[in-house]
A and B are shown apart, each in its own frame.
Chain A
């Protein structure tokens, strides 16, 4: 079962929720898809790490074979190729490695070479498998790393998997939630938080994924995110209080459920309601 944790902006509590839920679940898998700033590993400090480099294919040209027809230049939607003074020049950092130019070239002057854009680290914390995607600084897209992380997850089979998403609702998040069985949306109790919640709410609806909301940083006062959920009859899975103790544990890279009975209870209840929701979902929508 794949549970994806997402939110419309960074710092809402995706990692807090996914790390603590994974830590409570024996033999689970935690996958950090926030490849631009992965930080789940700071809590798990996994051991026995295996690294794999992730590369993409980018074109190289043989200028002796190129006849200057410019089919590749005109085809590239990202303008990664220019033709200057009888020579084709390729801008590696603009290439999205679709391979179209190589397929089109009538002279077979274009071939592909591998370019490393980041890596995947796989380690272990207690019985939890910790997988981390890391994109090198300055690279255009982390999607190839996410594909690798989630492709591998198919081989893991039935293990309970928690996927920590990148913030927002762009392509990289869509790729992260594609195979999700359930989505947890983490929301902050502010108007800005509601705006961001709405972004991911629209996304999971578009993908027809079952979902529920975790209200994070809850205070005694009015919660606009809660109001948003009540108005739309969105399932509220749980509430995490806004308090110093949790803030301190989190800032020190500690897993809250391992350090404090109160938080263990909060996240256990959250896990129970997620599991209940997923089971409910599979019985009512078994054809999905």
Chain B
């Protein structure tokens, strides 16, 4: 299965980005092939609807799970419509979260915020 995580840098040891929609990159990890790759988040600099566009990127990457510290309601609606599960990250390090996910230590993200819609958060 494929896992997606919003990250601050294009680096394996990268830290998890606090924002989903405006993360500069997404770290994609394939649990079967153990391959990892990075996708640039072209939504990051959008003035509006960044979360929805970022969701489209995650969906197109064919990820099965998204690990993120938080997620807005529009993005969550799109991601859930694609049957992608959203889990809450527990620490700052991306790889650590993958390990925790593999060991069933992450729980589903149950707090979906209403979004910032141009009022802060960016």
Contact = CB atoms under 8 A, between A and B. Distances in A.
Contact of B59 (A80, A82, A94, A140): A82
Contacts of A83: 56
Contact of B43 (A79, A89, A91, A140): A79
Contact of B49 (A80, A84, A85, A89): A80
Contacts of B55: 82
Interface stretch (B24-32, B74-82, B89-97, B99-107): B74-82
B82 A91 contact: no
Nearest to B115: A93
B44 to A, nearest CB: 12
A73 interface: yes
Given A79-B43, A82-B59, A83-B56, A89 B78 contact: yes
B81 A80 contact: no
B74 A84 contact: no
Contacts, number: 47
Interface in A52-78: 73, 76-78
Interface string B3-29: 000000000000000000000000000
Contacts of B63: none
Secondary structure class of chain B's binding surface, majority of residues: helix
B59 A84 contact: yes
Interface in A83-114: 83-85, 87, 89, 91, 93-94
Interface in A134-148: 140
Which among A77, A79, A83, A84 has the highest number of chain B CB atoms within 10 Å? A79
Interface residues of B, number: 18
Contacts of B77: 89, 91
B52 A80 contact: yes
A94 B78 contact: no
Nearest to B46: A79
Contacts of B46: 77, 79
B49 A94 contact: yes
A89 B48 contact: no
Interface in B54-95: 55-56, 59, 74, 77-78, 81-83
Nearest to A96: B48
Nearest to B114: A138
Contacts of B47: 77-78
Contacts of A84: 56, 59, 78, 81-82
Interface of B: 43, 46-50, 52-53, 55-56, 59, 74, 77-78, 81-83, 117
Given A77-B46, A79-B46, A140-B117, 6 more contacts: A78-B49, A79-B43, A79-B50, A82-B52, A91-B52, A94-B74
9 residue pairs, one from A and one from B, having the closest CB atoms: A79-B49, A79-B53, A94-B49, A79-B52, A84-B82, A82-B56, A78-B48, A78-B49, A82-B78
